[in-house]
Amino acid sequence: MQILKGADVSAKIKSQVQQALAAHPGQPPKLAVVRVGERPDDLAYERGAMKKMEAFGLRVQSFAYPADISDGDFKEAFRAVNEDPDVSGILVLLPLPKQIRQADIAAMIDPDKDLDGISPVNMAKVFAGDAAGFAPCTAEAVVEVLKAYEIPIAGKRTTIVGRSLVVGKPLSMLMLKENATVTVCHTKTADLKDACRQAEILVAAAGRARMLNAEHVKEGAVVIDVGINADADGKLCGDVDFESIREKAAMATPVPGGVGAVTTAVLAKHLVRAAGLM
């Protein structure tokens, strides 16, 4: 089984970004990372995103607010970031605390700065097949992996396990745009194993540790694992039992070191697009 390493895909995207920056000398675009509270996963993602932006030659600034900030105070602070002409793109770390109306923030964010596709405007564009919209970075990262490794998508039977607005639903639209034949499954799907075994490209994005194994995988399939979970021992793992599929899958992404590494690279690419440089 060939292991599809995210670092190799990230390096290709980095080259594209740096070529775009070289073609447009001057101050590089700036990303604003908006965080409320100090959830460990938010802090980890923020560190990774900031490190990636700096490595790509982009500017980045964290805008952090206390976990108990009021809805009104947060909206006032967010409005200032949203309207700052020095900010080319915004990443809001979700979910926001319960006292903040998340739907209002999604509606407020400038669609042209909404790098992770939370705005209803960008969602509509993705579902309409409009390339001008920003898709969620993780969903787009899956397509980037397939293309970077020159894995044919058109006409391929693709099963996506997961129906979230972050991955499953937008990814189904992106894959349809690439002319795949798409089936969307979830944890309630009857005979999930059979649905997965039909797939030439199987994407796991349900958020359950090692829920898919060799019994779900068609011989010679490409398996893309989007899940990031901690197992009973606290070890990072995906939605796929990676070791069990080694003898059946032709190619697969590992966790860690797979799609996650590409997601922040896509964020950087979106930032350069938002600045009009790509």
CA distance 47 to 218: 37
Assign 187 to helix, strand or coil: coil
Q: In this structure, are 149 and 192 located in the same domain?
A: yes
Q: Which sign, positive or negative, has the C-alpha torsion 189, 141, 164, 97?
A: positive
How much is the pTM? 0.95
Give the pLDDT band (50/70/90) at residue 187: confident
In DSSP notation, 188-255 reads T-TTHHHHHHT-SEEEE-S--TT-B-GGG--TT-EEEE---EE-TTS-EE-SB-GGGGTTT-SEE--S
Assess if residue 14 is contained within a domain.
Answer: no
Assess if residue 144 is contained within a domain.
Answer: yes
Express as a percent the part of the chain with pLDDT over 90: 94
**Left, alpha or beta for 69 (phi > 0: left; psi -120 to 50: alpha)?**
beta
Say what the pLDDT of residue 106 is: 98
CA distance 263 to 115: 11
CA distance 228 to 88: 29
Of the candidates 130, 124, 71, 121, which has an alpha carbon nearest to the alpha carbon of residue 96?
71
Res 112 pLDDT > 90: yes
Q: In this structure, are 154 and 212 located in the same domain?
A: yes
Longest Cα–Cα distance of the chain, Å, equals: 55
How many domains does the chain contain in total? 2
Say what the pLDDT of residue 235 is: 85
CA distance 147 to 95: 30
Assess if residue 271 is contained within a domain.
Answer: no
CA distance 55 to 47: 12
Res 132 pLDDT > 90: yes
How much is the average pLDDT of 143-162?
98
Whose tokens are 């976990």? That residue is 67
- Residue 227 lies in domain: 137-260
Q: Are 34 and 78 in contact (CB under 8 A)?
A: yes
Q: In this structure, are 67 and 166 located in the same domain?
A: no
Assess if residue 274 is contained within a domain.
Answer: no
We report the CATH number of the domain holding residue 189 as 3.40.50.720
Task: Tell me the CA distances in angstroms from 191 to 10, 82, 252, one per residue in order.
Answer: 35, 45, 23
We report the CATH number of the domain holding residue 34 as 3.40.50.10860
How much is the average pLDDT of 242-270?
96
